[in-house]
Amino acid sequence: MKLQMKTVLVLTAILAASALAPSIVAAQHGMPGGTPMTFFVTGEPIGDGGNLGGLAGADAQCQKLATAVGAGNRTWHAYLSTQGRPGQPAVNARDRIGTGPWYNFDGVMIARDLAHLHGDTLDLARMGNNLTKRTGLTEKGQIVPGLNDYQVPRDSEWEYTKTTPYTNRHEMLTGSQLDGRAYPPGVDYTCNNWTSNSDPAPGGPQVLEGRPGRPNAQIGFPDRNGGGNGSWNSSHGTTGCSQTALNRTHGVGMFYCFAVN
Amino acid sequence: MPTSDRIPSSLMTFFVTSEPIGDGGNLGGLGGADAHCQMLATRAGVSGRTWRAYLSTQARPGQPAIHARDRIGTGPWYNAKERIPDYLGRRLQRPIIQSEIHGDTLDEARRGSNMTKEFAVTEKGELVNGIGDPLPTRHDILTGSQPDGRAFTDAADHTCNNWTSNGVGSAQVGHSDRVGNGNQSWNSSHGTTGCSQRDLVSWGGVGLFYCFAVN
């Protein structure tokens, strides 16, 4: 018994000294001295598919959700890119979110800086950042339901999903490439710069990528599980830009919010 | 039961060992580890494949280093289970790809691979306990490798003396659930302090390793 207790203490000490510790002391959120939240996944969608009211509408959603949990004292930006238009340069998601480090609801660091978040070097990219299913929390500290959490055939139907909050909804809108930058103009990766809720004409190819004239948004996974790659910010496209189309592949039009200050 | 639901799937060319050898970092060298892979596959009813443990060994005088990535064939590799149907009703069985799991290009490294907790199941199709699951955690997977799948080149021990030590030394491990230590590396997350079975357990592993079929 004594020996077992010693083992437990040693194990606890090792865990406490490692980066595993924050997930164990998650209950410390809100305690004096805790690290304030500067990152979250939106706990609820705007609800009109890829029409977020542009970047401003998405930012306002971040700000509204943050304010509702007492974090409205910061300036929040949605992690979204927009593509270039005549007389209107592209906006890169990575240029909108400050410099980090960013911490989630539990005070766990998601990434040290932009290079860590995006894996700007081969070494950084291979090791990955610290955004996982267990750290990609909403502003209320909830884990975002992903693959295998609650499998029902109807979990890709919006009419069912919108009243069943524990079904898979792990696709985050980003409109971004792997490096966090916008796609070139032309093919749609941003639901027309987050103003479109329209879908491709019926009968077209069933693909999850941009094609000329095809409404589409690039998405990523906070649980790092999907699309065969698990990219947090640029895994694949959508079946369209309506709320129904986003849900078909297990998204509901949520996105990442970062505090810039 | 449809063929596609059989476990292990006839496509299986990858698994995490369902059980350790049990002597810490002493696996009986690469030969012992390979034999363990072969034994578990055979016991699960798989025949006709040659299995290799995903382990590196470090260079010794007159004995060059061996890189885990060079031991496992070319892939692609499939796990023991079929995937659930996707939104079009297709029963996709996504494999893991050599260049993707090692992030050979910056795009591949950033995008990641299909090596997830749900993919990295045992030869019985069972999940390996990770962070957040009931204890004991078993997600520390012995590799002795750098993130690119190659052996370490420094003088320190990263392979429990080329998988012969159950005492002093250290083993580099990855996390089969891609969670822990502030990174997501499946093959090179951190080292252990010590090579005994107890040392491995104290870090969150039991001495499991990855097995790949080369054919």
Number of H helices, E strands in chain A: 8, 7
Mean pLDDT for chain A? Answer: 89
Residue A26 lies in a domain: no
Tokens standing for residue A245: 């189309």
Residue % of chain A over a pLDDT of 70: 87
- The pLDDT averaged over each successive group of 10 residues in chain B (215 residues) is 67 96 98 98 96 98 97 96 64 86 98 95 96 94 98 98 98 97 96 97 96 96
Residue A96 lies in a domain: yes
* Res. A150 pLDDT band, cuts 50 70 90: confident
Number of H helices, E strands in chain B: 6, 6
Residue A2 has pLDDT above 60, yes or no: no
Domain count, chain A: 1
Nearest to B94 by CA among B69, B113, B71: B113
pLDDT value, residue A253: 98
Residue A207 lies in a domain: yes
CA distances (Å), origin B57, targets A235, B31, B97: 34, 12, 22
* Whether the Cβ atoms of residue B194 and residue B166 lie closer than 8 Å to each other: no
Nearest to B175 by CA among B133, B111, B135, B129: B129
Reduce the secondary structure of A167-220 to three states and give it as a string: CCCCEEECCECCCCCECCCCCCCEHHHHCCCCCCCCCCCCCCCCCCCCCCECEE
* Whether the Cβ atoms of residue B134 and residue B111 lie closer than 8 Å to each other: no
Give the list of residues 6+ apart from residue B90 with CB closer than 8 angstroms, or none: none
Q: Which residues is A251 bridged to in the sheet?
A: A171
Residue A252 burial (10 A CB sphere; 0-12, 13-18, 19+): buried
pLDDT value, residue B9: 87
Which residues on B lie below 8 Å from A23 (Cβ)?
131-132
Which residues on A lie below 8 Å from B140 (Cβ)?
none
Chain B residue with CA closest to A132: the answer is B179
pLDDT value, residue A14: 43
pLDDT value, residue B91: 63
CA distance B62 to chain A (A): 30
- The single-letter DSSP state of residue B85 is P
Greater pLDDT, A75 or A153: A75
pLDDT tens column, A47-61: 999 999 999 999 999
Which residues on A lie below 8 Å from B117 (Cβ)?
225
Chain B residue with CA closest to A122: the answer is B106
Residue A222 lies in a domain: yes
CATH number at residue A190: 3.10.100.10
Indicate which of A104, A219, A229, A233 best probes the interface with B, i.e. most B CBs within 10 Å of its own CB. Answer: A229
Which residues on B lie below 8 Å from A19 (Cβ)?
180-182
pLDDT value, residue B166: 98
Structural domain of residue A148, as residue ranges?
Answer: 35-259
pLDDT tens column, A67-125: 999 999 999 999 999 999 999 999 999 999 999 999 999 999 999 999 999 999 999 99
Residue A19 lies in a domain: no
Chain A residue with CA closest to B96: the answer is A228
* Whether the Cβ atoms of residue B16 and residue B96 lie closer than 8 Å to each other: no
Chain B residue with CA closest to A233: the answer is B111
- The single-letter DSSP state of residue A257 is E
pLDDT value, residue A147: 82
B118 and A148 within 8 Å at the Cβ level: the answer is yes
Query: Which is the CATH superfamily of the domain at B1-215?
Result: Mannose-Binding Protein A, subunit A (3.10.100.10)
pLDDT value, residue B85: 60
Give the list of residues 6+ apart from residue B133 with CB closer than 8 angstroms, or none: B127
CA distance A234 to chain B (A): 7
Query: What's the length of chain B?
Result: 215
pLDDT value, residue A148: 78
Residue A246 has pLDDT above 80, yes or no: yes
B182 and A230 within 8 Å at the Cβ level: the answer is no
Residue A9 has pLDDT above 80, yes or no: no
ipTM of this predicted complex? 0.90
Residue A11 lies in a domain: no
pLDDT value, residue B82: 66
pLDDT tens column, A200-225: 998 888 899 999 999 999 999 999 99
Alpha-carbon distance of A17 to A5, in angstroms, equals 18
Average pLDDT of span A236-240: 97
Which residues on B lie below 8 Å from A110 (Cβ)?
none
pLDDT tens column, B173-196: 999 999 999 999 999 999 999 999
Amino acid at the residue A70: G
Q: What is the pTM of this model?
A: 0.89
Average pLDDT of span A3-8: 40
The residues in B 192-211 lying below 8 A from A, measured between CB atoms, are 198, 202-204
pLDDT value, residue B89: 64
